[in-house]
């Protein structure tokens, strides 16, 4: 056989390989897979590959039809709009791309759904949510602490803004602790890939919406976390970001359309990109100027986070399908949506509506960082908004009440200061469509620790936590609150707020999981929260009972939660000297002479006047013996 014939054979083999193996031609197809049986039987596939727009795709599979093919502005994208018939069977099939007499094949899969849509039960007021910053909670797998090929290799626990090594395995390893503390759900901050050059630990600059950050683990580990939570009757809430991506996102090097991100032309020309003015009130303001609206909607959150343009219909579909993909893949018990007022608000209504249409018992909470209850209430489903806006959002975050609780405990008692802030703040519930579905918290990953906000006063911190757990709300507690973690050294510093959980790393001298090395104050706070949470877990009165409270008087605020034969009483007392509480004022509660129990100490008492309160703090009582 001569050399010329050998060359022809080799060229033929190369051509055959290229014609059969699309992975050599196509970089990605998203969503990665899909499912049969959705109410919305449309699916849009993003196909990325060099000059793929020149190809003509076809699918031969019963029940699947290509309805249209759309090209992007870049020649390296195709968007396939598919229709999936109701009776389509799960299975794998080839998407065949015909290009220049070649056939390029990509294997795609339609899966069967593991459970009915109605069985995706979201979080509600019976839950207590543990918020975790995964990089700072526990290191369960040291092998993935640093991953070759990623930009950020700054592993150093001594530096607040470097990676510390916490991961999904670390959370899985300590589910016993979380469960035994009395939490019923966890909300980890984003676990998707943040291939950024610095500060990649926090997770909010996503560079691949379908990939788990390998420093946190694998998709299989994420699924395992979800499954182990379900086995315990607990829920997994996913932190999602619709407003922006990370500047190193894979599509930033080859954007599909000319308007895929906001201010795209300026970005590509390396001109100044305007930042958001963060004036979230323009979403409701009757008098807002157009320039203020534009800066809020189109301005980038920060330089490193390009602002996604949800008004582009392909981007809108991409985000909606991505959320649904994760709900199905993980069997989620809820979504927390970051920076809710920043994306296009009509899109956010469509996004939440699409999810709730598919999963009628699901829950979504949106972050609106405002202490004005009118602004927070605007975003909740059922709000009677003057502009007619319908959000489809089940839950919002109660920044107003969080602000009121801190003020109430830090201020002196006067006519319009102190505990009256909680009393009058709760009175604003008349405005909310569903107060019970609002999420309340003493602090979170973006604000000073509650122990810091209250001047490292343990008594005040207990009062704050009790209030959060007793209000008609969904409570969220940030990891380490039970151990009095503080950022007092640099108040408000995000790296310090997100400090390591003691005991999450081999060699830690203090271990919050086992109690080893904890101070007496830390043990006391951990025990207090554990008692309160575990009582709350079984309390129907707190979950869905009637709320009755009495105006603060003489430095004391009393709130009742009542359902059937269970009454729970919270007494907040700011007096530093012993005080006699006249119980005749509360006759309408019909508790006279009833036996009760202190929820924290288990001590029995009889409800008869007067009730002596010996010291400043909180008293939690129940008729449930």
User: pLDDT tens for residues 328-343?
Assistant: 999 999 999 999 999 9
DSSP 521: H
User: pLDDT tens for residues 91-126?
Assistant: 999 999 998 888 999 999 999 999 999 999 999 999
| Residue 164 token pair | 């510390």
**Mean pLDDT of the residues in the chain:** 95
* SS3 at position 372: coil
Domain 3-112 grouped into CATH 2.60.40.10:
yes
| Residue 537 token pair | 């877990």
Per the residue annotation, which of 367, 398, 443, 500 is the catalytic one? 367
How far apart, in whole angstroms, are the C-alpha atoms of residue 331 and residue 305?
A: 28
User: pLDDT tens for residues 524-550?
Assistant: 999 999 999 999 999 999 999 999 999
Q: Which CATH architecture has domain 542-622?
A: Sandwich (2.60)
Sign of the torsion formed by the C-alpha atoms of 51, 56, 58 and 64: positive
Q: Is residue 162 predicted with pLDDT exceeding 70? A: yes
User: pLDDT tens for residues 485-515?
Assistant: 999 999 999 999 999 999 999 999 999 999 9
CB atoms within 10 A of CB 67: 11
Q: Identify which of 23, 45, 21, 24 has the alpha carbon closest to the alpha carbon of residue 33.
A: 45
SS (H, E, C) 370-405: CCCHHHHHHCCCCCCCCCCCCCCCCEEECHHHHHHH
524 is a catalytic site residue: no
User: pLDDT tens for residues 352-370?
Assistant: 999 999 999 999 999 999 9
User: pLDDT tens for residues 429-438?
Assistant: 999 999 999 9
pTM, to two decimals: 0.95
How far apart, in whole angstroms, are the C-alpha atoms of residue 251 and residue 210?
A: 13
Q: What is the percentage of the chain residues whose pLDDT exceeds 70?
A: 96
**What is the widest separation between alpha-carbon atoms in the chain?**
110
152 is a catalytic site residue: no
285 touches 107 (CB < 8 A): no
Q: What residue ranges do the domains of the chain occupy?
A: 3-112, 542-622
Identify the band that residue 576 occupies on the pLDDT scale cut at 50, 70 and 90.
very high
220 Cα distance to chain centroid = 20
How high is the pLDDT of residue 25?
79
* SS3 at position 414: strand
How far apart, in whole angstroms, are the C-alpha atoms of residue 315 and residue 256?
A: 9
448 CB-near residues (< 8 Å, 6+ apart): 487, 491, 492, 497
How high is the pLDDT of residue 101?
84
Edge-first strand order for the sheet with 91-99 is 34-35, 102-111, 91-99, 56-59
Beta bridge partners of 109: 92
User: pLDDT tens for residues 271-298?
Assistant: 999 999 999 999 999 999 999 999 999 9
How high is the pLDDT of residue 462?
98
How far apart, in whole angstroms, are the C-alpha atoms of residue 400 and residue 403?
A: 5
54 Cα distance to chain centroid = 40
What average pLDDT does this structure show over 160-178? 98
User: pLDDT tens for residues 171-199?
Assistant: 999 999 999 999 999 999 999 999 999 99
Per the residue annotation, which of 328, 338, 368, 487 is the catalytic one? 338
How far apart, in whole angstroms, are the C-alpha atoms of residue 206 and residue 576?
A: 49
Q: Do domains 3-112 and 542-622 have the same CATH topology?
A: yes
How far apart, in whole angstroms, are the C-alpha atoms of residue 512 and residue 174?
A: 11
How far apart, in whole angstroms, are the C-alpha atoms of residue 379 and residue 395?
A: 8
What average pLDDT does this structure show over 78-99? 97
| Residue 435 token pair | 């107060």
How far apart, in whole angstroms, are the C-alpha atoms of residue 603 and residue 592?
A: 18
Q: Is residue 6 predicted with pLDDT exceeding 60? A: no
Q: Is residue 401 predicted with pLDDT exceeding 80? A: yes
């Amino acid at each position: 056989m001569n050399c010329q014939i050998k060359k022809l054979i080799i060229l033929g083999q190369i051509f055959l390989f290229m014609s059969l193996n699309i992975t050599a031609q196509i970089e990605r197809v998203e969503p990665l897979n899909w499912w049969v049986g959705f109410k919305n039987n449309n699916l849009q596939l993003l196909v990325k590959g060099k000059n793929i727009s020149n190809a003509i795709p076809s699918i031969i599979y019963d029940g699947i039809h290509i309805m249209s093919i759309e090209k992007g502005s870049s020649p390296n994208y195709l968007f396939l709009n598919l229709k999936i018939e109701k009776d389509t069977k799960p299975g794998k099939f080839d998407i065949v791309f015909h290009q220049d007499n070649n056939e390029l094949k990509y294997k795609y899969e339609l899966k069967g759904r593991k459970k009915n849509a109605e069985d995706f039960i979201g979080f509600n007021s019976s839950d207590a949510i543990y918020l975790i910053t995964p990089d700072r909670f526990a290191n369960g797998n040291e092998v993935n602490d640093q991953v070759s090929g990623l930009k950020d290799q700054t592993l150093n626990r001594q530096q607040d803004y470097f990676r510390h090594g916490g991961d999904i395995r670390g959370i899985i390893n300590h589910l016993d602790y979380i469960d035994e503390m009395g939490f019923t759900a966890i909300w980890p901050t984003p676990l998707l890939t943040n291939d950024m050059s610095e500060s990649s630990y926090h997770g909010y600059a996503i560079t691949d919406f379908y990939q788990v950050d390998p420093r946190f683990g694998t998709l299989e580990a994420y699924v395992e976390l979800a499954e182990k939570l379900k086995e315990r009757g607990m829920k997994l809430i996913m932190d999602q970001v619709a407003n922006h991506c990370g500047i190193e996102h894979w599509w930033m090097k080859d954007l599909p359309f000319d308007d895929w991100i906001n201010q795209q032309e300026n970005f590509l020309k390396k001109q100044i990109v305007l930042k958001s003015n963060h004036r979230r009130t323009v979403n409701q303001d009757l008098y807002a100027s157009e320039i203020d609206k534009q800066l809020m909607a189109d301005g980038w959150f920060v330089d490193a986070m390009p602002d996604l343009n949800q008004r582009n219909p392909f981007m809108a579909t991409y985000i909606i399908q991505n959320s649904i993909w994760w709900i199905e893949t993980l069997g989620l018990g809820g979504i927390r949506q970051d920076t809710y007022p920043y994306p296009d608000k009509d899109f956010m209504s469509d996004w939440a509506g699409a999810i709730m249409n598919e999963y009628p018992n699901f829950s979504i909470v949106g972050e609106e960082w405002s202490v004005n209850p009118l602004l927070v209430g605007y975003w909740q489903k059922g709000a009677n908004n003057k502009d007619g806006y319908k959000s489809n959002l089940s839950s919002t975050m109660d920044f107003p009440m969080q602000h009121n609780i801190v003020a109430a405990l830090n201020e002196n008692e006067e006519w319009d200061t102190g505990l009256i802030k909680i009393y009058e703040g709760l009175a604003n519930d008349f405005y909310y469509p569903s107060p019970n579905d609002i999420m309340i918290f003493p602090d979170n990953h973006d604000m000073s620790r509650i122990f810091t906000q209250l001047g490292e006063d343990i008594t005040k911190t207990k009062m704050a936590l009790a209030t959060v757990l007793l209000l008609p709300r969904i409570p969220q507690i940030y990891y380490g609150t039970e151990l009095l973690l503080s950022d007092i050294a640099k108040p408000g510093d995000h790296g310090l707020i997100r400090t390591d959980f003691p005991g999450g790393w081999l060699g830690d001298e203090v271990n919050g999981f086992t109690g080893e090395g904890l101070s007496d104050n830390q043990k006391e706070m951990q025990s207090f929260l554990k008692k309160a949470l575990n009582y709350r877990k079984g309390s129907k009165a707190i979950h869905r009972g009637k709320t009755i409270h009495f105006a603060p008087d003489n430095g004391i605020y009393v709130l009742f939660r009542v359902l059937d034969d269970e009454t729970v009483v919270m007494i907040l007392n700011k007096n530093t000297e012993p005080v006699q509480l006249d119980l005749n004022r509360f006759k309408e509660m019909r508790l006279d002479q009833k036996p009760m129990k202190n929820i924290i100490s288990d001590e029995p008492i009889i409800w008869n006047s007067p009730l002596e309160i010996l010291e400043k703090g909180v008293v939690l009582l129940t008729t449930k013996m």
